[in-house]
Amino acid sequence: MSLLRLDSVSFRYVARPESQGRDRAVLSDVSFELQAGESALVLGDNGSGKSTLGRLIGGLLRPTAGSISIGGEPLDRVPVRARPSRSIYVSQVSYLQFFRATLADEITLAAKQSGHPPPPEETIARFSLPSLETNPRDLTYPEMWRLQLLLLGGVFRPSVMFIDEIVAPGAPAQREALEFTLSQRHAQGRATLLAYQRPLDTRFHRVFRVDGGAVTAPESVLRGSFLT
Amino acid sequence: MAIYVLTSNPNAIDFDHAGLQARVEAALGSMVALYRPLSFVEHSGFSETVREEIGLVLSNHAGDQPPLRLFDAFVQAWDLDAHLDRRVLDLSGGWRKFLGLALFMNRPLPARLLLDATSHLSDARIRTLLERAAEQSDAVFCEYDPQLLLALPADASAPGAPPLRRLHDDGTAVTEAIGSR
């Protein structure tokens, strides 16, 4: 059974009546699935619908048609409080997902909220973060991205995680954090999607393209590679 | 008019704007206007649609500093016509950032230093940005991932990105990399 399954999913943003604008269809009749442990790169131009797809998979938006299920369970039947264990949308706006005054407190909070133990020191080290006494808001933008990955991927450990873009993918620290996260989640049997504008050196099991409302898989399907 | 890609300590982008700006100004021998992304809050807050936002900004340029392009030419030059009647807040993150960048680039300025201007933009948006930058005064792009800009692939549908020159910041001075022309 697939871990993530989208069946004929469509989504349109509804214009507000007073704006006299038109509804805007973003995704139309999208179907695909990911198996446990798989990763997917979601490619698309600005405004193609990558973030909308991520918010749908993260449960922040509901499809206007079709359904999304995780582990066979329809996502819209998962209570909000239980949703982070099923799927998480990793926002582009990193600081919206930070709440505490130090990195150590963020990790403690994530562990408490998720019910999982804090990650061991050797895991934290893979994310190349500064001192755990640093305020998250004093991190550089790439460091904030890595902290998000650590907290959401390494502590919350949702079954499905949609990462809405990577900052500075050419930087070694970014790449190591991403590849460590992908390999960890592969080993745990979890599925991970990453949206970006262009191909990356990092290998994924699948590559999808969002264009004109459709999600297609024109690129080769990669299996195995470093994710073993 | 030259376009430079500046390599620097990434921390300078987040924490040393003033120092970086001073070093770039010393290297170029010119004042530079600084662009910093505001985490997608690229919006005046005084308008709703893209059309209104552009009109508001263009009509509020200082009298002695008219915008480089007026409304229709601006919209055409920045490929914004398909988005005019959408709410700014409904734009995707990349398009919202691009709109803010376009409005910044439309100001008549002696030179520009743009920090983290290209993240979240597709190759097509970056190419448009570089083409518009090449028409104006010097522009210095300082990115978390400068290689992404330097390795931008040519696109048959566009007349090609302008040649990029490389600058390096060692924390004390900005110098042009040897052989960067």
DSSP-based three-state secondary structure for B16: coil
Instruction: Look at residue A71 in the predicted model and tell me its pLDDT.
Output: 95
Indicate yes or no: CB of B94 within 8 angstroms of CB of A197.
yes
Looking at the structure, tell me whether residues B103 and B115 fall in a common domain.
no
Q: How confident is the model at residue A18 (pLDDT cuts 50, 70, 90)?
A: low
Structural contact between residues A100 and A106, judged by C-beta atoms closer than 8 angstroms: yes
Mean confidence (pLDDT) of chain B: 86
Q: Are B94 and A24 within 8 A, CB to CB?
A: no
Compute, in degrees rounded to 10, the torsion defined by CA atoms A219, A221, A222, A228: 140
Interface of A with B in 151-180 (CB under 8 A): 165, 167-171
Q: Percent of chain A having pLDDT more than 70? A: 92
Query: B115 and B179 share a domain?
Result: yes
CA nearest to A7, candidates A79, A83, A72: A72
Residue A70, domain CATH: 3.40.50.300
Average pLDDT of chain A to the nearest whole number: 88
pLDDT at residue number A220: 40
Amino acid present at A115: G
Q: Max alpha carbon distance in chain A (Å)?
A: 55
Three-state secondary structure readout of chain A: CCCEEEEEEEEEECCCHHHCCCCEEEEEEEEEEECCCCEEEEEECCCCCHHHHHHHHCCCCCCCEEEEEECCEEHHHCCHHHHHHHEEEECCCHHHHCCCCCHHHHHHHHHHHHCCCCCCHHHHHCCCCCCCCCCHHHCCHHHHHHHHHHHHHHHHCCCEEEEECCCCCCCHHHHHHHHHHHHHHHHCCCEEEEEECCCCCCCCCEEEEEECCEEECCCCCCCCCCCC
Give A-chain residues touching B10 at CB under 8 angstroms. 140, 142, 168, 171
Grade residue B152 by pLDDT with cuts at 50, 70 and 90. confident
Q: Are B115 and B28 found together in one domain?
A: yes
Residue A222 lies inside a defined structural domain of this protein: no
For CA atoms A153, A154, A158, A160, give the dihedral sign: positive
Q: Does residue A174 lie within any of the structural domains?
A: yes
Q: Can you give the pLDDT at residue A98?
A: 82
Claim to verify: residue B68 and residue B23 sit in the same structural domain: no
Beta-ladder partners of A152: none
- Give the pairing type, strands B3-7 and B164-169: parallel
B chain contacts of residue A48, beta-carbon cutoff 8 Å: 92
Per-residue confidence at A118, pLDDT binned at 50, 70, 90?
very high
Average confidence (pLDDT) over B64-72:
90
Considering the domain boundaries, does residue B38 fall inside one?
Answer: no
Of A10-14, B96-100, B144-148, B177-181, the least confident: B177-181
Give Cβ neighbours of residue A106 (< 8 Å, ≥ 6 apart). A98, A99, A100, A136, A147, A151
User: Is B40 a residue whose pLDDT tops 60?
Assistant: no
Q: Which residues of B touch A (CB under 8 A)?
A: 10-11, 13-15, 39-40, 48-49, 83, 85-87, 90-95, 98, 116, 119-125, 143-145, 147-148
Render pLDDT for A168-208 as a digit per residue (tens, 0 to 9).
Answer: 898 999 999 999 999 999 999 999 999 999 999 898 999 99
Tell me: do B21 and B50 sit in the same domain: no
Q: Which residue has the higher pLDDT, A130 or B159?
A: A130
Task: Say if CB B22 and CB B14 are below 8 A apart.
Answer: no
**pLDDT recorded at residue B12:** 86
Higher pLDDT, A120 or B159: A120
Task: Indicate whether A224 belongs to any domain.
Answer: no
Q: What residue numbers bound the domain in which B63 lies? A: 43-108
Tell me if B1 sits within 8 A of B138, measured CB to CB. Answer: yes
Phi and psi (nearest 5°) for B173? -155, 155
- Whether the CB-CB separation of A97 and A42 falls below 8 Å is answered with no
A107 contacts A60 by C-beta, under 8 angstroms: no
List all residues 6 or more positions away from B22 whose beta carbon is below 8 Å from its beta carbon. Answer: none
| Least Cα separation, residue A46 to chain B (angstroms) | 5
Same domain, B27 and B48: no
B50-59 and B93-105 are packed helices; what angle lies between their axes, rounded to 10 degrees?
Answer: 20
Integer Cα distance of B180 and B128 in angstroms: 22
Last residue of a domain, one of B89, B108, B127: B108
pLDDT range class, residue A227, cuts 50, 70, 90:
very low
**B19 and B55 share a domain?**
no
In a domain, A68, yes or no: yes
3-state DSSP assignment of residue B87: strand
DSSP state, residue B151: T
Nearest CA to B8 among B152, B172, B122?
B172
Range of the domain at A53: 4-14+23-216
In chain B, residues with a C-beta closer than 8 Å to the C-beta of A197 are: 94, 120-123
Could you tell me if B92 and B122 lie in one domain? no
**B168 within some domain:** yes
Domain boundary among B108, B124, B155: B108
Tally of structural domains, chain B? 2
Asked whether residue B103 falls in the same domain as residue B116, the answer is no
In a domain, A226, yes or no: no
Rounded to whole angstroms, the Cα distance separating A89 from A91 reads 6
pLDDT digits (tens, 9 = 90+) for A55-109: 999 999 999 999 999 999 999 999 988 999 999 999 887 777 788 889 999 999 9
pTM to 2 decimals? 0.86
Pull the structure tokens for residue B51: 């059309």
Written as six digits, the tokens of A50 are 């990558």
Give yes or no for A46 touching B (CB within 8 A).
yes
When divided into structural domains, chain A yields a total of: 1
Examine the domain organization and report whether B79 and B12 are in the same domain.
no
| Cβ contact A76:A39 at 8 Å | no
User: Which residue type, as a one-letter code, is found at position A219?
Assistant: E
- The greatest distance separating any two alpha carbons of chain B, rounded to the nearest whole angstrom, comes to 47
Pair B27, B67 in one domain: no
